[in-house]
Structures are given as C-alpha cells and as structure tokens.
Amino acid sequence: MDLIDAVKFDGGGLVTAIAQNYATDQVLMVAYMNRETLTETLESGDMVYWSRSRQTRWKKGETSGHVQKVREVYIDCDGDALLFKVDQTSAACHENYFSCFFKQNVGGEWKIVAEKIE
C-alpha cells in the first residue's frame, strides 16, 4: 500500500501534517494537507500544505524563501496524521521564529522562550 492510500483524510479531505527539524527533532509547525498537496510534496520533496484560512494550496517558502525540504516521512498508527522530518531554511513561523512553538507556559503565563530570526 502506498502512502497516499494509507492516509485517512478527514471529512474535509485534510490530514494533519507535523513538520519537525531533521537535525534536532524540534517541532517546527503543524499544518494540513489534502490529497493534492501531499502528492505534490512527495513528488517534489518540498513541503506543500493546504491553507484552511485561505482555502488554497500553500507551498512553504514560495514567497518568503523559508523552504522545507523533506528528508523523512512517517504516518501515525491510525493513519490520520503525518510527520515530516525536514531541513528548514530560516524561519518556519510567519512571526519569524525558527519554530511556531516559541511560547511556553511558565507559572500560568505565556512567555516567549525563543529569539526571532533577523
């Protein structure tokens, strides 16, 4: 069974896609893919997502230059989430942090625990 046939897309035709730094295992971001963007990602080796807010294809780095190159692909036990280990160029986050997970709950408050990429 190939990867696409193993994926259980939700009722909206989407699957959760987690991007993780290949070298450090740091989680970079969580997004969504549909069948077309997953196929494009697997064929090109560049991460391509589906933007739920804009309802359109979104190739990571197409305008920013902050691309994600696929190194490894994993599927979870239920087939409803994918993990991509990637080489990240510059920031993964649209707020210009390396990871979208730059806030930590400390003593009941959200604290920024990373530096912005200049």
How many domains does the chain contain in total?
A: 1
Please list the pLDDT of the chain residue by residue as tens digits (118 residues).
588 999 999 999 999 999 999 999 999 999 999 999 999 999 999 999 999 999 999 999 888 889 999 999 999 999 999 999 999 999 999 999 999 999 999 999 999 999 999 7
Whether residue 95 lies inside any domain: the answer is no
Query: How far is the C-alpha of 49 from the C-alpha of 60, rounded, in Å?
Result: 7
Please give the pLDDT value at position 61.
Answer: 87
Whether residue 100 lies inside any domain: the answer is no
Domain range for 54 is 3-90
Whether residue 102 lies inside any domain: the answer is no
Whether residue 105 lies inside any domain: the answer is no
Whether residue 97 lies inside any domain: the answer is no
Whether residue 61 lies inside any domain: the answer is yes
Q: Model pTM greater than 0.95? A: no
Please give the pLDDT value at position 1.
Answer: 57
Please give the pLDDT value at position 63.
Answer: 87
Domain containing residue 71: CATH number: 3.10.20.810
Q: Which residues contact 115 (CB under 8 A, 6 or more apart)?
A: 97
The conformation of residue 97, written as its DSSP 8-state character, comes to B
